[in-house]
């Protein structure tokens, strides 16, 4: 009984956070809410996992839950990996823009500019 209360509390907390954040990232929030709801149901009605497992040809309810956990973990890992790759691409584009924008004009251009300023009576050298 205590473990059921503990697990239910944790899953309810995550469910609430997912629902509060649902507008920020709806797909992840909805998926998380669905997983938490299923988890709470299985905590209080474990025989449901057994019946479902038998229907699917799996020996035990815990085995079915374990298989689902592995698949979900792999899916999330892959999603995270590709998200990171996508973020890396965006960072690269940003860094490139910064690099090109901040590239000093060719030294010969600056020297010509300084010479023009000198001929107009202004100081030709920047302060070192």
Instruction: Give residues in contact with other proteins (CB under 8 A).
Output: 81-82, 85-86, 88-89, 91-92, 95-96, 98-100, 102-104, 106-108, 110-111, 114, 125-126, 128
| Residue 104 φ then ψ, to 5° | -65, 145
Residue 126 CB, nearest approach to other proteins (Å):
5
User: Which lies closer to other proteins via its Cβ, residue 73 or residue 83?
Assistant: 83
User: Which lies closer to other proteins via its Cβ, residue 3 or residue 126?
Assistant: 126
- Among 35, 42, 1, which residue's Cα sits nearest to residue 19? 35
What six digits make up the tokens of 42? 């299985």
């Amino acid at each position: 009984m205590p473990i059921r209360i503990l697990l239910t509390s944790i899953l309810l907390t995550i469910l609430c956070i997912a629902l509060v954040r649902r507008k920020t990232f709806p797909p992840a929030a909805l998926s998380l809410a669905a997983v938490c709801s299923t988890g709470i149901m299985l905590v209080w009605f474990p025989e449901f996992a057994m019946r479902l497992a038998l229907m699917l040809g799996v020996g035990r309810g815990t085995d079915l839950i374990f298989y689902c956990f592995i698949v979900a973990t792999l899916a999330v890992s892959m999603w995270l990996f590709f998200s990171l790759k996508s973020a890396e691409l965006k960072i690269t584009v940003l860094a490139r823009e910064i690099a090109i924008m901040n590239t000093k004009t060719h030294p010969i251009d600056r020297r010509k500019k300084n010479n023009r300023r000198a001929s107009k009576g202004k100081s030709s050298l920047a302060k070192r």
